[in-house]
Amino acid sequence: MTHSLHRRGTAESLSEDYVMLCLTAIGHNDENHEPKLTEFLRIALRHDPVNIGAISLGNMYSNSKEEVVDNAHGIVHAVFVKQDQVADTLKDLEKAGLGMSVVVSGIFEKVDECLDKVGLKHHTANFSLGIWGKTEKLPSNDILEVTTMCGHGMISANLVKSMAEEVKTGRKTADEAAKVLAPQCACGIFNPARAAKLLAAMAKK
């Protein structure tokens, strides 16, 4: 999966940002896969993710958590802010033996630390090579740190600027502003907890 690979930020900021995906392999384990994806989400919810989503429905900021779980199909996602949450979720998933592909996206060394903690090894690794082309046309880096948390590009740079201004003027808290952005990322890999910190930092400039 590549839509979670291009998140920008400092090592400190990205150390509080882990995306987990559970998906089928078409033609291999895709028949009657929905109960397994549902169980993945239920396991993830035990460990307090800041977001969950199902590609077939949306995320927990545009629907209830129960609706997301009940409509699991194809690919589902969960976002965590702590390594322990990732490790504990992986441990429970191994016990559950769902037979589904699980992808963990984050700083490579941090993800490997989670795997080591539960005695697992990564099967495959993908790295982002960055953005190529006329990068001068891109928004500023602080905006990109927020927008790249939606890998399908559904969060507008102008909306991020607007929310930072709302925080700066005191019309919204950083948490409230982040929750305006979160529903725009339909698949649910957006991290509103990290977004709140980024918006607060932008508002101080």
Predicted confidence band of residue 3 (pLDDT cuts 50, 70, 90): confident
Find the farthest-apart pair of alpha carbons in the chain and give their distance in angstroms, rounded: 53
CB 174 within 8 A of CB 203: yes
Helix (H) or strand (E) holding 77: strand 75-80
**Rounded Cα–Cα distance for residues 93 and 29 (Å):** 17
**Residue 115 in tokens:** 């795997």
The residue to which tokens 């795997």 are assigned:
115
| CA 5/CA 144 separation, integer angstroms | 13
- Predicted TM-score (pTM) of this structure: 0.94
Contact 22, 76 (CB under 8 A): yes
Q: Is the pLDDT of residue 130 over 90?
A: no
Domain extents for the chain? Answer: 11-117, 135-203
Give the helix, strand, coil percentages of the chain, each rounded to 5.
45, 10, 45
Query: Distance between the two ends of the chain, CA-based, in angstroms?
Result: 35
- C-alpha torsion angle, residues 93, 125, 12, 19 (rounded to 10): -40
pLDDT at 31 over 80: no
Q: Could you tell me if 45 and 27 are in contact, meaning their C-beta atoms sit under 8 angstroms apart?
A: no
Average pLDDT for 171-188: 96
- Summarised one tens digit per residue, pLDDT across range 51-63 is 999 988 899 999 9
Distance between CA atoms of 44 and 88, rounded to whole angstroms?
A: 9
Cα–Cα nearest to 185, from 148, 141, 140? 148
CATH of 11-117 among 3.30.70.1110, 3.40.50.2020, 3.90.650.10, 3.30.70.360:
3.30.70.1110
Region 118-128 average pLDDT: 90
Mean pLDDT of 36-41: 96
pLDDT in tens, 157-174: 999 999 999 999 999 999
Token couple for 98: 């769902």
Confidence class of residue 30 from pLDDT cuts 50, 70 and 90? confident
pLDDT of residue 28: 77
